[in-house]
């Protein structure tokens, strides 16, 4: 089955740029969605279709996807961005949806 | 306002069964594909199952295939997950979630609040 790999945590100082990778074989050929989840809350989408920002999501959030890695980039990180972030794809071979293991963004 | 409200979670013994429900409101329920996604508290999201708008196209994660059944009643705006032969490793919060387009590849734009299933003797 298809596997998405994310680092357990990424640390960044306020005002800096956070980059959260999501690795998978030929992930560049798939559409990647990114979700943010804060403690006690359901997840919410922050980027869909690799690099599209849904209505209401700040421009500080952006995405890219190429080769074997998709990346969620958060510019000018704020304390309120501290959360768990998950990537998701649909694998056409298995017709399964797959989530990455999640990355905890720590704002120092 | 779009709302998804799950119910049916609880404590069940290993080998037992449970049926989860998810009532959708504020949108045309019968037009949307839906997922069930689970999460062990403190751990990551895990996809469980997906169903298309009329219930004719269904997919399951390997870990639940043959034990869980997803279905829907569009007349009642309700999504179901019948869970049989439950195991301790099925313990999790179960979310129902709406796919934002008519395609299975769309992102999830709305989630329920989740219902906790605990499998323990």
Contacts of B95 (CB under 8 A, 6+ apart): A42, B6, B36, B37, B38, B39, B111, B112, B113, B114
Confidence at B105, pLDDT banded by 50, 70, 90? confident
Which residue of A lies nearest to B110 if distances are taken between CA atoms? Answer: A44
In this complex, do A48 and B106 lie within 8 Å of one another by their Cβ atoms?
Answer: yes
Name which of A2, A27, A39, A42 to mutate to probe chain B: the one with the most chain B Cβ atoms within 10 A of its Cβ. A42
- Residue A98: alpha-carbon gap to chain centroid: 13
In this complex, do A42 and B35 lie within 8 Å of one another by their Cβ atoms?
Answer: no
- In this complex, which of B37, B105, B109 lies closest to A31 when CB atoms are compared? B105
- Residues B118, B48 contacting (CB under 8 angstroms): no
In this complex, do B108 and A88 lie within 8 Å of one another by their Cβ atoms?
Answer: yes
Residue range A69-103, pLDDT digits in tens? 999 999 999 999 999 999 999 999 999 999 999 99
In this complex, do A99 and B104 lie within 8 Å of one another by their Cβ atoms?
Answer: no
Mean pLDDT (chain B, rounded):
96
- In this complex, which of A48, A84, A97 lies closest to B47 when CB atoms are compared? A97
What's the mean pLDDT in B54-67? Answer: 96
Confidence at B104, pLDDT banded by 50, 70, 90? confident
Tell whether the model's pLDDT for residue B103 goes beyond 80: no
Q: Tell me which of B92 and B104 has the higher pLDDT.
A: B92
In this complex, do A33 and B108 lie within 8 Å of one another by their Cβ atoms?
Answer: yes
Confidence at B38, pLDDT banded by 50, 70, 90? very high
What's the mean pLDDT in B16-40? Answer: 97
Tell whether the model's pLDDT for residue B93 goes beyond 90: yes
- Residues B104, A90 contacting (CB under 8 angstroms): yes
Helix, strand or coil, per DSSP, at residue A14: coil
Which residue of A lies nearest to B94 if distances are taken between CA atoms? Answer: A42
Q: Identify the CA nearest to A48 among candidates A68, A66, A30.
A: A30
Say how far apart CA B25 and CA A107 lie, in whole Å: 37
Contacts of A41 (CB under 8 A, 6+ apart): none
- In this complex, which of B46, B59, B107 lies closest to A45 when CB atoms are compared? B107
Tell whether the model's pLDDT for residue B102 goes beyond 80: no
In this complex, do B113 and A100 lie within 8 Å of one another by their Cβ atoms?
Answer: no
**What pLDDT score was predicted for residue B101?**
80
Residue range A28-71, pLDDT digits in tens? 999 999 999 999 999 999 999 999 999 999 999 999 999 999 99
Confidence at B9, pLDDT banded by 50, 70, 90? very high
Question: Hey, what are B113's tokens?
Answer: 């609040």
Q: How far is A53 from chain B (nearest CA, A)?
A: 12
Q: How far is A94 from chain B (nearest CA, A)?
A: 9
């Amino acid at each position: 089955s298809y596997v998405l790999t994310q680092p357990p945590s990424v640390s960044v100082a306020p005002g800096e740029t956070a980059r959260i990778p999501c690795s998978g074989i030929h992930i560049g050929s798939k559409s990647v969605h990114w979700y943010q989840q804060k403690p006690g809350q359901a997840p919410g989408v922050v980027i869909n279709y690799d690099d599209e920002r849904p209505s209401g999501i700040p421009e500080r959030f952006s995405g890219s996807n190429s080769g074997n890695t998709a990346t969620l980039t958060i510019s000018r990180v704020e304390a309120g961005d501290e959360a768990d972030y998950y990537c998701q794809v649909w694998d056409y071979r298995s017709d399964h949806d797959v989530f990455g293991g999640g990355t905890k963004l720590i704002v120092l | 306002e779009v709302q998804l409200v799950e119910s049916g979670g609880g404590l069940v013994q290993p080998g037992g069964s449970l049926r989860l429900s998810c009532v959708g409101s504020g949108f045309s329920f019968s037009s949307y594909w839906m997922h069930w996604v689970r999460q062990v508290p403190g751990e990551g999201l895990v996809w469980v199952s997906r169903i298309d708008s009329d219930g004719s196209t269904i997919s399951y994660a390997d870990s639940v295939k043959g034990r869980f059944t997803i279905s829907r009643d569009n007349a009642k705006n309700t999504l179901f997950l019948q869970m049989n032969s439950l195991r301790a490793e099925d313990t999790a919060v179960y979310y129902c979630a709406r796919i934002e387009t008519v395609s299975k590849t769309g992102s999830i734009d709305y989630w329920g609040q989740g219902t906790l299933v605990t499998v323990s003797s």
